[in-house]
Amino acid sequence: MYTKILLASSMALVLFTGCNTKQYYTPKNPISTNTNALGDRLIHYSRDGATLASGKVLTRNQSVKLKIEKGFYFINSSSRAALTADAQGNCNIVTTEGTAANIKFDKALVAGTMIGKHLVYLLQDNSFGVYDFEQKKIVYNNSAEKAYAIDTRIANPLQIDTLAVIPTLDGKLTILDLKTFKISKEVYVSTEATLNNIIFLNRINNSLIAATPYKVLSLSNKGKKELETAISDVILYKKNLFVFAKDGRILKVDEKLSVISEKKFKFAHFSVAAVFNDKVFALDKQGFLIVSNTSFSKHKVYKIEEVEGYAFVSEGKLYYDNEIMDLNTLNYE
């Protein structure tokens, strides 16, 4: 009996010790800086935008005041309209003048891209397809394997000529011909059991780049290249990718995923990242904001409050926890 009690006590001690060994990013001499009250709050966050309680929509390049119905959130936008959706499968196409079209799906829409007269969509149950605005009906529908847990930064479909690249929630790229509605190719980026959806999808020259929280894939007619690491975010800037890894590294890589430069910020856990004006911004969850040049040879660290909720960067401004901060005022010199 004594042996059993001793063993149980030892196990409890190991568990308690393990819970207290988590280490945090502790930069030397961080610079204090101020934020301003937003007077609004982030209520939804996705790969390409965020929705504020006031109805304002934030994309990476601009903020737009739209008449979004209550319960609807921003998904994606084109040059003419924004795509919004709610949790019940309703989808609205919204302009600055109001709602221009309505679509009803069986499940909630989680990603979509408007391509000409078509909406290429992805639903919560990992079904995907094409809706025709002129015919006002679904003209193609398919489904992928069910995904039980996903990262909220779901990438939207990408148009390449007459093809639509559809990033499904199980880590797969489905390339669909919009003329014939036939699948021309399917490629898995990664095959993890959970949180394996595509969180980044873009194109550099003739290479298709995709990422899940586990891997970055570069696909071209010369074959494919892979960068395998746990990923917080991926940003495309001036034909290079900036990969923000969960171990505190920031890597600058080319379209073949060859590392150009990298810097490790020990124990940093990035909650949001941005690259613009030749500066790299990475916000640690404790509120340490790293500002670096794109080669990582110079950097400064600023201290704001710990991040508790959604965070998003739009037009060079950081929105988080009902606060707003102008990143253009910060530098690495």
| Residue range 273-313, pLDDT digits in tens | 999 999 999 999 999 999 999 999 999 999 998 888 889 99
In a domain, 67, yes or no: no
Tell me what pLDDT residue 126 has.
97
Taking alpha carbons only, the member of 277, 301, 284, 207 closest to residue 244 is 284
In a domain, 108, yes or no: no
In a domain, 283, yes or no: yes
Can you tell me whether residue 145 is helix, strand or coil? coil
In a domain, 133, yes or no: no
Determine the Cα–Cα distance for residues 44 and 86; give it in Å rounded to an integer: 11
Tell me what pLDDT residue 321 has.
85
Positive or negative, the CA dihedral 76, 292, 253, 25 is negative
Q: What DSSP element (H or E) covers 11?
A: helix 2-19
| Residue range 49-94, pLDDT digits in tens | 999 988 889 998 888 878 788 899 999 998 888 999 999 999 999 9
Q: How confident is the prediction for the chain on average, in pLDDT?
A: 91
Determine the Cα–Cα distance for residues 215 and 211; give it in Å rounded to an integer: 6
Tell me what pLDDT residue 204 has.
97
Q: What angle do CA 127, 235, 159 make, to 5 degrees?
A: 45
Q: Look up tokens 């003329």; give the residue.
A: 179
Q: What DSSP element (H or E) covers 249?
A: strand 249-253
In a domain, 77, yes or no: no
Is the pLDDT confidence value at 137 over 60? yes
Is the pLDDT confidence value at 19 over 80? no
Is the pLDDT confidence value at 96 over 90? no
In a domain, 138, yes or no: no
In a domain, 81, yes or no: no
Residue range of the domain that includes 317: 22-42+235-333
Report the CATH number that the domain containing residue 328 is assigned in CATH: 2.40.128.630
Is the pLDDT confidence value at 1 over 80? no
| Residue range 174-191, pLDDT digits in tens | 999 999 999 999 999 999
**How many domains does the structure of the chain reveal?**
1
Of the pLDDT bands very low, low, confident and very high (cuts 50, 70, 90), residue 16 is very low
Chain centroid to CA 133: 27
Can you tell me whether residue 24 is helix, strand or coil? coil
Reported pTM: 0.90
In a domain, 164, yes or no: no
